[in-house]
């Protein structure tokens, strides 16, 4: 079958036309004919063995891709989570798929769920977001950040503050529901001062962070208190595009009512995962199908996988491979 295969850890995936088809082993498994698979950060870090969730032997040839859209034997179109999805056929588990509504195309449906997990799970479960809260999204110009702005708005955010380095994309977020922009390109003092000013006028309830690294340090510095009562802020780490480590002063933790947590595989309970599959993602599929959620994608050819794998896409568009 046609597939994108990583022959050795750390190599570029290769397009091949003669990879063996996968075989169903358990009664809860199904064979699916794949149609569209998005290229995401997690696919790259898992394929290279660097992601904390990477398991098993990655020294032999493997089909890449962890989720996507396909068609079951009975013709039902589904989004499914699994392994080895960037190929003509893949094996999935029955309880790890979502039937797609009419009106959403394969490419949009393949791109959306990872960004929904990367925004809604943090807002709803790690931060416990309530209607009328003020949300700051650090690194909002990426694909997941753009979805996060819309999800936060949909969940009833009163005010959404977005940070990023790309001025044009930051401006475009205003049309998606953002209220205020903070550029990460200004100097550290000005960046901190702007966040402090915002926090003083509209206390920030939740920070969801895709960048970590230096800007996370600056945002935490901006929250630092002076010994008087402070507003409770829940900071949720979702990604670490600009660094996996930060320096955190103990004084910040002592001087402010801060809840620091992370959202990703391993932090979610079984019940939260069930809600993601049964409630949250299906709802977002319906919104997208009714043009109430803007999802920016670019379809690309499976044959091009080697060239596309490491490509930087700078405007928050998701590349989706058509099988």
- Residues near ligand NAP (CB under 6 A): 41-42, 114-115, 117-118, 139, 141-145, 164-166, 169, 184, 210-211, 238-242, 263-264, 314, 316
Closer residue to ligand NAP in complex, CB, 71/181: 181
| Spatial separation of the C-alpha atoms in residues 311 and 41, rounded to whole Å | 11
CB of 208 to ligand NAP, least distance (A): 10
Please list, in sequence order, all residues whose beta carbon lies within 8 angstroms of the beta carbon of residue 60, skipping any fewer than 6 positions away: none
Q: Report residue 128 as tokens.
A: 């416990």
Please list, in sequence order, all residues whose beta carbon lies within 8 angstroms of the beta carbon of residue 278, skipping any fewer than 6 positions away: none
Please tell me what DSSP assigns to residue 166. Answer: -
Query: H-helix or E-strand containing 144?
Result: helix 143-154
Closer residue to ligand NAP in complex, CB, 44/224: 44
Please list, in sequence order, all residues whose beta carbon lies within 8 angstroms of the beta carbon of residue 211, skipping any fewer than 6 positions away: 138, 139, 184, 239, 240, 241, 242, 243
| Spatial separation of the C-alpha atoms in residues 13 and 8, rounded to whole Å | 9
CB of 87 to ligand NAP, least distance (A): 22
Closer residue to ligand NAP in complex, CB, 70/142: 142
CB of 25 to ligand NAP, least distance (A): 28
Closer residue to ligand NAP in complex, CB, 171/314: 314
Q: Report residue 265 as tokens.
A: 């595989």
Closer residue to ligand NAP in complex, CB, 22/282: 282
Instruction: Compute, in degrees rounded to 10, the torsion defined by CA atoms 274, 37, 238, 52.
Output: 90
CB of 89 to ligand NAP, least distance (A): 26
3 state SS of 6: strand
CB of 240 to ligand NAP, least distance (A): 6
Closer residue to ligand NAP in complex, CB, 98/256: 98
| Spatial separation of the C-alpha atoms in residues 142 and 164, rounded to whole Å | 9
Closer residue to ligand NAP in complex, CB, 136/211: 211
């Amino acid at each position: 079958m046609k597939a994108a295969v990583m022959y050795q850890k750390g190599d570029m995936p290769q397009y091949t036309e003669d990879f063996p088809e996968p075989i169903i082993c358990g009664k809860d498994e199904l064979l699916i004919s794949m149609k569209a698979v998005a290229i995401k950060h997690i696919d790259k870090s898992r394929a290279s063995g660097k992601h904390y969730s990477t398991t098993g032997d990655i020294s032999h040839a493997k089909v890449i891709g962890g989720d996507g859209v396909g068609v079951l034997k009975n013709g039902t179109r589904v989004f499914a989570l699994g392994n080895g999805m960037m190929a003509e056929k893949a094996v999935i588990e029955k309880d790890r798929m979502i039937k797609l509504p009419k009106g959403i195309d394969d490419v949009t449906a393949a791109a959306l769920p990872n960004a929904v997990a990367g925004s809604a799970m943090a807002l709803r479960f790690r931060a416990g977001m309530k209607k009328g809260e003020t949300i700051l999204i650090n690194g909002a110009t990426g694909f997941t950040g753009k979805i996060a702005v819309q999800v936060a708005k949909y969940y009833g955010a009163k005010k959404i503050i977005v940070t990023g380095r790309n001025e044009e994309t930051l401006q475009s977020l205003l049309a998606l529901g953002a209220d205020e922009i903070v550029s990460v390109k200004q100097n550290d003092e000005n960046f901190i001062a702007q966040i402090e000013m915002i926090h003083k006028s509209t206390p920030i309830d939740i920070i969801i962070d895709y960048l970590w690294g230096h800007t996370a340090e600056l945002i935490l510095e901006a929250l630092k208190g002076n010994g008087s009562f402070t507003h409770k802020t829940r900071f949720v780490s979702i990604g670490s595009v600009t660094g996996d480590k930060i320096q955190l002063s103990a004084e910040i933790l002592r001087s402010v009512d801060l809840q620091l947590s992370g959202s990703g595989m391993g932090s979610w309970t079984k019940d939260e995962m069930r809600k993601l599959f049964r409630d949250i993602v299906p709802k977002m599929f319906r919104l997208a199908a009714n043009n109430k959620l803007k999802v920016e994608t670019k379809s690309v050819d499976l044959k091009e996988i080697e060239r596309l794998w490491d490509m930087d896409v700078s405007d928050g568009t998701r590349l989706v491979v058509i099988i």
